[in-house]
Amino acid sequence: MNTARALLAVTAATTIALTLGACSTSSGGDPGDDDTLNIWYVNPLTSYPAWAASMQKFEDEATEGGYVATGVGPNKLDTATNVSQIEQAIAEGADGIIFCNTDPASFESSIKKAHDAGIVMVTIGCVDEVSDYAVGTDNEAFGIASADAIAEGAGEDAVVGIISTDRTTPNQLAQVTAFEEYIKKTYPDMKVGAWESDNSDTALAAQKITGILQADSSINAIWCVEGQCPGGVATGLTEAGKQPGDVFVLGIDTVDTTIGALEDGWLGATLNQCWFDATQLATNLIRAKVEDQPSDQQFWGIGVDAVTADDLPYDGCSADLIPTLK
């Protein structure tokens, strides 16, 4: 699996309040400075450690980056709340908004409203073609990398059970589609035995894993497309009567629960998405456009890192996997 590493070349005080039923924090520079920008991070899932760490990184970089950072977001996936938070950012004169376009139809009106107000919109983690910039994993490459990892870990004739948030989240749908198209050409004996949704809920992921394995004994691989799934793997496999290593499981990201499952043998590997560390790129893209020096590049593909138990302790993504604005 080490050959799959680098698969893509690809404080001021903090005020905490409850806003729209979600966590809200602000930090950074002096809003009275003409060069200080007002940037918001609208987080889709603050309870997920990688998302929380990404927003904290955004806030920690605020003073040096010359912006006032406002971070908001619900503890559970709630598109309506995120849309309301974008509307709030627009009303409060944001210069730029970092968000995740999990549902293009729901965000369409707010994105247009922001653009009409001259606000730079950067979707992070969720790739689209309508925001000013999209920063995230190349979905096609991610699907291909996942197929290669499963072929190596479970065999080229693996029967795969997929767990995603749902079947409509655009980036996950694109990843699964790329996976399916790739295995048809490259691993024709590999197939998808089941595809279930967990709404990014660890307990539900565990139930779905158990159900998949009980319904089809030929399934010998589980692919966690979303980040809460790996935390439910141990429970899900145990309830299905499986031991570590009986089923090859490919995880995503490197939050503590995922690393724990990797250490204990429940996961065979995980693909760490390095875009969680790309907040400085996102804010630099906003500043460049505000200062009339916009980048011509709309999509910024961020590297992923394949991690196995042999790579532990894991030090995180290397800097060369994250592009910089030149």
The b/e string for 35-69 (b: 16+ C-beta within 10 A; e otherwise) is ebbbbbbbbbbbbbbbbbebbbebbebbbebbbbb
Cite the residue boundaries of each domain of the chain with CATH code 3.40.50.2300. 2-136+274-303, 139-273
pLDDT of residue 23: 60
pLDDT of residue 34: 73
Q: Taking all residues of the chain, what is their mean pLDDT, rounded to a whole number?
A: 91
Least confident of 1-5, 78-82, 254-258: 1-5
Among 3.50.50.60, 3.40.50.1000, 3.40.50.300, 3.40.50.2300, what is the CATH number of 139-273? 3.40.50.2300
Band (pLDDT 50/70/90 cuts) for residue 266 is very high
> Nearest Cα to 231, choosing from 266, 276, 192?
266
Q: How far apart (Å, rounded) are the C-alpha atoms in residues 190 and 154? A: 10
Residues near 91 by beta carbon (within 8 Å), at least 6 away in sequence: none
Q: How far apart (Å, rounded) are the C-alpha atoms in residues 23 and 193? A: 39
pLDDT of residue 219: 98
Band (pLDDT 50/70/90 cuts) for residue 1 is very low
Band (pLDDT 50/70/90 cuts) for residue 304 is confident
Position 121, amino acid? M
Whether residue 14 is predicted with pLDDT greater than 70 in this model: the reply is: no
Q: pLDDT for 90-143, tens place per residue?
A: 999 999 999 999 999 999 999 999 999 999 999 999 989 999 999 999 899 999
Q: How far apart (Å, rounded) are the C-alpha atoms in residues 4 and 34? A: 46
CATH superfamily, with its number, for domain 2-136+274-303 = Response regulator (3.40.50.2300)
Cα–chain center distance at 62: 22
Whether residue 179 is predicted with pLDDT greater than 50 in this model: the reply is: yes
Q: pLDDT for 183-226, tens place per residue?
A: 999 999 999 999 999 999 999 999 999 999 999 999 999 999 99
Whether residue 3 is predicted with pLDDT greater than 60 in this model: the reply is: no
Q: pLDDT for 34-79, tens place per residue?
A: 799 999 999 999 999 999 999 999 999 999 999 999 999 999 999 9
Q: How far apart (Å, rounded) are the C-alpha atoms in residues 208 and 206? A: 5
pLDDT of residue 19: 34
- What distances in angstroms separate CA 18 from CA 73, 75, 85, 204, 259, one per listed residue? 10, 11, 12, 27, 31
